[in-house]
Every structure is written in structure tokens, then in C-alpha cells.
Amino acid sequence: MKVNIDTSAGFCWGVVRAIDFAENELKDAGRIYSLGDIIHNAAEVKRLNDLGMETITVEDFPRLEPGSKVLIRAHGEPPSTYQKAIKYGIEIIDATCPVVAKVQERIRKFSDEEFQVVIFGKKDHAEVIGLRGVTEDRAILVLSPEEALLKVDFSRKTVLFSQTTMDRETFARIAEALRERISQLYIGSIEEEAAIEFHAKNTICGQVSGRDKKLREFARSNDVIIFAAGKKSSNGKVLFNIAREENQRVYFVEDAHEISPEWFEKAESIGITGATSTPKWQMQMIKTYIENNFS
Ligand code: SF4
């Protein structure tokens, strides 16, 4: 039985950057606070916690010593977090991914121009909380074309954005549904020329969408796929479903010990892959675990 690691899997550069920020600080000061899990991967969080990182929430700010260093992870934060940090004398180490920071800036610009902002994203996801925060929580969140058609006010100029880790197909379907409804409402009417302004800004990260093709090839070229990611990883769920479209024998694990021997029945090749938040060392550990226990 051959065990292969997907060479295109592993941390995206935004995550590598945030971890570098944390590791540099841990080397210098031996201590840093991370606002939320630095990454949706329990094993990597534990590794950094063992080096001196502590995961906190904004509610913990009042108990921190003034001057404490708090890292903002790649997902970013809403403006209110920065204001609270100033209030409590906390030093922010801002590891917001530049891609996310750019999306925040674009959303802010449209919101300031009185556009109705619609975000294709998950309500409780940290990145979405930050994106919505720049609109003072006025942005509408949607997950499907049906929801968008129900929630959007078609009398207002509108812009559609996406959380960076969502899937392109659904984004395109939402954009199409909104465009179609706008044209149905206005075409042929005397207001046709004044039809509402609508923009669809596909802000899905290239690190995520570019992975599709390679992941599909990898899933097809192995009999069984072990997909390693944190259960909270949004990108993990999207990529897992993509792999499943190509190969029915794809199994999601957070830890090597969840692996079951019957998954490998009659399999000649096992592929190990993961999300943009899955470290290479974890995939290597899973490979060693499979080789030592099942081959
Ligand atoms: S997936 Fe893209 S947007 Fe998200 S952290 Fe990685 S590089 Fe940044």
C-alpha cells in the first residue's frame, strides 16, 4: 500500500504569515495572546500554546496587563476590537491577511457610498464578523440564491462580496439570481434606464479557488483519501466536498487516531491532503501513523 502526501496541500501564505508573526514574538518575548484560535487546526494551536501562546477573546481584554501584545489572526477583526485595544492599552500585532484587509477596505468604500452590502458568508465565521463590522453590521449575509432574493432590497444600489473561503459556483449562482431579478424588475419599464446599480465582487481567495483543480486530480489518483483539517475550518469543509465529488472514499479526520482500518480495504494507494490550515507536519505524522499501523 503506497501512502502519498498531496504536495499542493498545506498552509496558505496568509496563515504562514500569521504563524511567523506569532513565532517571532514567542522567540523574543516568550508570550503572546491570540485573539481566537490562530488557525482552525487544534494540533497547530496546541503546538503554539506549548511555546507560550494563549488564546483569548475580546472579553479578556480588561484582565490583561496594559502593554500586553495581542495578535489578530489572518481572519481579521471588526473596528470595535481595535477601539477596545486602545481603551485597555493593549498592543495589537496585526496579522490580518492582506487579502482579507483588502476586502475589508473595498467593503468599507462601498458602504460609505451608501451601497447595500451583501456578503456570501457564514454568520459566525471570524472573517465575516470582521467584514460585516466595517459596515457597522449593516451588511446582509446570505448563503444561497434563494436567501439573497428574500433578503435584498431591490430598490437600493447593491454590491455582492464573498467571504474569502467560500465556493465559486454558489457565488456565481447568487450573483446571477440577483442580476436576473433586477433585470426582471426593470427591463421594459419606464425606469429601465434608472435600474439599480449592481456589482458582484468575487473576493474568493485564489489560494482557495486555485486548489480545486489540483485537489480533484489528487483525489482521483488515489484509492482512498484522508482529509485532515479542523472541524471548524470553513475552507476544510469546502475542499473536503470537492474531494468527495471525485472520490467516494474520502474521510475527514482531525487526528490520526480517528482513522479506521476498514477504510483501507483493497486499497493500493492512500492520499493524504488537507485544508489551507492543515500543517505539513500533521500530514507527515498521519502518513507515518498509517505506515506503522495499517500497511
Ligand atoms: S485563504 Fe487566502 S485570504 Fe484566507 S488567509 Fe489564506 S491567503 Fe489569506
Q: What is the pLDDT along the chain (295 residues), one digit of tens a residue?
A: 899 999 989 888 999 999 999 999 999 999 999 999 998 888 889 999 999 999 999 999 999 999 999 999 999 999 999 999 999 999 999 999 999 999 999 999 999 999 999 999 999 999 999 999 999 999 999 999 999 999 999 999 999 999 998 989 999 999 999 999 998 887 766 655 567 899 999 999 988 777 888 999 999 999 999 999 988 888 889 899 999 999 999 999 999 999 999 999 999 999 999 998 899 999 999 999 999 998 7
CA gap 109, 60 in Å, rounded = 31
pLDDT score at 196: 85
Residue 92 sits in the same domain as residue 104:
no
What CATH number is associated with residue 229? 3.40.1010.20
Beta bridge partners of 269: 2
Asked if 127 is an active-site residue, the reply is: yes
pLDDT score at 184: 87
Pick the atom of ligand 1 nearest to 100's CA: 3
- The best mutation among 19, 99, 203 to test binding of ligand 1, ranked by most ligand atoms within 8 Å of the C-beta, falls on 99
Residue 172 sits in the same domain as residue 249:
no
Please give the distance, rounded to the nearest whole angstrom, from the Cα atom of residue 266 to the centre of ligand 1.
37
Q: At which residue does the C-alpha cell 436567501 appear? A: 147
**219 CB near ligand 1 (under 6 Å):** no
pLDDT score at 295: 77
Residue 60 sits in the same domain as residue 107:
no
Domain boundary among 203, 229, 262: 203
Please give the distance, rounded to the nearest whole angstrom, from the Cα atom of residue 221 to the centre of ligand 1.
27
SS3 116: strand
Residue 144 sits in the same domain as residue 177:
yes
- The best mutation among 106, 131, 165 to test binding of ligand 1, ranked by most ligand atoms within 8 Å of the C-beta, falls on 165
Strand 140-142 to strand 269-274: parallel, antiparallel, or no bridges (unpaired)?
Answer: unpaired
Residue 175 sits in the same domain as residue 139:
yes
pLDDT score at 82: 98
CA gap 36, 43 in Å, rounded = 15
CA gap 57, 141 in Å, rounded = 23
H/E element holding 200?
Answer: strand 198-200
Residue 42 sits in the same domain as residue 58:
yes
Q: From start to end of 153-245, where are the E strands? A: 158-162, 198-200, 224-228
- Residue 63 corresponds to which amino acid? R
Which triple of cell numbers denotes residue 210?
486555485
CA gap 127, 123 in Å, rounded = 9
> Looking at 44, 77, 127, 254, which residue is catalytic?
127
What CATH number is associated with residue 89? 3.40.50.11270
As a residue count, the chain comes to: 295
pTM: 0.84
**271 CB near ligand 1 (under 6 Å):** no
**208 CB near ligand 1 (under 6 Å):** yes
Pick the atom of ligand 1 nearest to 164's CA: 3
Instruction: Beginning with the edge strand found earlier in the chain, give each strand of the sheet holding 198-200 in spatial order.
Output: 140-142, 116-120, 158-162, 198-200
Domain boundary among 74, 96, 118: 96
pLDDT score at 211: 84
Q: Is 268 buried (19+), middle (13-18) or exposed (0-12) by CB count in 10 A?
A: exposed
Q: At which residue does the C-alpha cell 446599480 appear? A: 197
Residue 131 sits in the same domain as residue 217:
no
pLDDT score at 190: 60
Residue 143 sits in the same domain as residue 119:
yes
Residue 228 sits in the same domain as residue 149:
no
Please give the distance, rounded to the nearest whole angstrom, from the Cα atom of residue 194 to the centre of ligand 1.
37
**48 CB near ligand 1 (under 6 Å):** no
Domain boundary among 203, 222, 253: 203
Residue 147 sits in the same domain as residue 221:
no
Please give the distance, rounded to the nearest whole angstrom, from the Cα atom of residue 118 to the centre of ligand 1.
20
Residue 226 sits in the same domain as residue 239:
yes
Task: Considering only CA atoms, give the Rg of the chain.
Answer: 22
pLDDT score at 36: 95
Q: Is the dihedral of CA 97, 99, 105, 107 positive or negative?
A: negative
**205 CB near ligand 1 (under 6 Å):** yes
Domain that holds residue 213: 2-10+209-294
Residue 77 sits in the same domain as residue 124:
no
Pick the atom of ligand 1 nearest to 127's CA: 4
SS3 208: helix
Please give the tally of structural domains in the chain.
3
